[in-house]
């Protein structure tokens, strides 16, 4: 195991973080208790989580300011200070969106997320100190090339944000936080017999087809089928509640339209995959036709992939 992986592994297992995480979770659960606010912060309107997109502005402006400090002369110090001011103003909304996402994590993800946030708080704190020192005339590089206090704080902030960004990447790419949990689930490409039509009622019923959990039910008498695994964090939707023509996820309350799979209310941001359904001889058949490569097994045999050679 490489050194960086050892660090990440240790963080994921560090139960000493759980007490702090519990207090932070209680605080943010209360602060963000409005479902509408959670819906907005999740990024449902974008179709992707808001937090990774929102951090571009503070990360870009703050790191650019440090770059100007290091590579530019004294003429660029006012520009660096303005960039830091803009970065600090934009960091708040980005951070709140991140805490909203963090509320729906658990275990290792929650621990890593907590340290990710702590690094970013330290980074923002350093840049705030840097801005304040610049405002008081202790801006960039002091005489003789020795780092002034404003630049030193800015360099410390960039380092902390760098570590925070590294942990953010681990959350998304290794732990799958914010990733559509159905991204690798395809379902049958050809019509596949599932069960007798008489067995499908208005209740939420889960069946497994080609290794994919599918939720079957009736809407206005018509049989509809969507993926049963919530795209948000993977809850079985068939354990949730039916609310008119929608299903409400049992874990974090996202609501999905049963006919289209669309997200009606977050925190989910991605729609549920929908399956085509037909009735033949009193039996239900379904299939899925789409072009997304990820839904084909990227390492195993697939009807879409012809072996090379």
Give the Å distances, CA to CA, from 1 to 4, 7, 79, 112, 212.
Answer: 8, 10, 43, 18, 33
User: Which positions from 214 through 243 interact with ligand FES, judged by CB under 6 A?
Assistant: 230, 232-235
Q: How far is the CB of 102 from ligand FES (least distance, A)?
A: 13
User: Judged by CB under 6 A, which of 197, 251, 262, 302 binds ligand FES?
Assistant: 251
State yes or no: residue 249 binds ligand FES (CB under 6 A): yes
User: Judged by CB under 6 A, which of 38, 186, 252, 288 binds ligand FES?
Assistant: 252
H or E stretch covering 195? strand 192-196
State yes or no: residue 254 binds ligand FES (CB under 6 A): yes
Cβ proximity to ligand FES, 227 vs 254, nearer residue: 254
Instruction: Single out the segment in contact with ligand FES by CB under 6 A; choices: 4-12, 120-128, 248-256, 288-296.
Output: 248-256
Q: How far is the CB of 72 from ligand FES (least distance, A)?
A: 46
User: Which positions from 51 through 80 interact with ligand FES, judged by CB under 6 A?
Assistant: none
Q: Is 217 left (phi over 0), alpha (psi -120 to 50) or beta?
A: beta
Smallest Cα–Cα separation from 158: which of 104, 122, 210, 193? 122
Instruction: For the sheet with 255-257, list strands across it.
Output: 241-243, 246-248, 255-257, 263-265
Cβ proximity to ligand FES, 116 vs 233, nearer residue: 233
Instruction: Single out the segment in contact with ligand FES by CB under 6 A; choices: 14-22, 88-96, 247-255, 257-265.
Output: 247-255
Cβ proximity to ligand FES, 112 vs 235, nearer residue: 235
Smallest Cα–Cα separation from 123: which of 148, 153, 94? 153
Q: How far is the CB of 116 from ligand FES (least distance, A)?
A: 20
Alpha carbon distance 89, 187 (integer Å): 45
Q: How far is the CB of 308 from ligand FES (least distance, A)?
A: 38
Cβ proximity to ligand FES, 186 vs 252, nearer residue: 252
State yes or no: residue 257 binds ligand FES (CB under 6 A): no
- Judged by CB under 6 A, the number of residues near ligand FES is 12
Smallest Cα–Cα separation from 185: which of 210, 158, 149, 220? 210
Instruction: Single out the segment in contact with ligand FES by CB under 6 A; choices: 35-43, 49-57, 81-89, 245-253.
Output: 245-253
Cβ proximity to ligand FES, 133 vs 254, nearer residue: 254
Q: What is the DSSP letter of 3?
A: H
Q: How far is the CB of 184 from ligand FES (least distance, A)?
A: 17
Residue 279: strand pairing partners:
284
Asked if 68 contacts 79 with a C-beta cutoff of 8 angstroms, the reply is: yes
Neighbours of 33 (CB within 10 A): 9
Smallest Cα–Cα separation from 55: which of 153, 154, 168? 168
Instruction: Single out the segment in contact with ligand FES by CB under 6 A; choices: 42-50, 137-145, 164-172, 244-252.
Output: 244-252
Smallest Cα–Cα separation from 279: which of 187, 189, 196? 196
Alpha carbon distance 128, 119 (integer Å): 14
Cβ proximity to ligand FES, 103 vs 277, nearer residue: 103
Q: How far is the CB of 46 from ligand FES (least distance, A)?
A: 17
User: Which positions from 94 through 133 interact with ligand FES, judged by CB under 6 A?
Assistant: 104
Residues 6+ apart with CB under 8 A from 273: 182, 185, 187, 226, 227, 261, 288, 290, 295
Residue 286: strand pairing partners:
192, 277
* Interacting residues toward ligand FES by CB under 6 A: 104, 230, 232-235, 249, 251-252, 254, 267-268
């Amino acid at each position: 195991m490489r050194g960086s992986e050892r660090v990440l592994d240790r963080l994921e297992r560090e139960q000493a973080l759980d007490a702090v995480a519990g207090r932070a979770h209680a605080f943010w659960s209360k602060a963000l208790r409005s479902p509408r606010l959670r819906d907005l912060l999740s990024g449902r309107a974008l179709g992707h989580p808001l937090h990774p997109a929102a951090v571009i502005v503070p990360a870009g402006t703050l790191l650019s300011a440090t770059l100007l400090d290091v590579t530019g002369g004294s003429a660029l110090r006012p520009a660096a200070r303005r960039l830091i001011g803009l970065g600090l103003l934009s960091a708040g909304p980005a951070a709140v969106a991140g805490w909203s996402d963090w509320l729906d994590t658990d275990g290792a993800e929650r621990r890593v997320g907590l340290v990710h946030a702590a690094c970013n708080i330290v980074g923002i704190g350093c840049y705030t100190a840097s801005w304040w020192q610049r405002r008081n005339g202790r801006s960039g590089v002091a005489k003789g090339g020795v780092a002034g206090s404003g630049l030193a704080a800015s360099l410390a902030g960039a380092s902390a944000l760098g570590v925070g960004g590294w942990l953010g990447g681990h959350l998304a790419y290794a732990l799958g936080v914010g990733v559509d949990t159905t991204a690798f689930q395809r379902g049958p490409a050809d019509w596949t017999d599932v069960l007798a039509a008489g067995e499908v009622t208005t209740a939420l019923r889960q069946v497994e087809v080609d290794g994919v959990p599918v939720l079957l039910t009736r809407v206005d008498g018509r049989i509809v089928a969507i993926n049963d695994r919530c795209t948000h964090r993977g809850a079985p939707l068939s354990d949730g509640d039916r609310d008119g023509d929608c299903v409400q996820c049992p874990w974090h309350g996202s609501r999905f339209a049963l006919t289209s799979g669309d997200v009606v209310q977050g925190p989910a941001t991605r729609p549920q995959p929908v399956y085509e359904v037909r009735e033949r001889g009193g039996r239900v058949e379904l299939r899925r036709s789409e072009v997304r490569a990820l839904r084909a097994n990227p390492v195993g045999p697939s009807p879409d992939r012809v072996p090379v050679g």
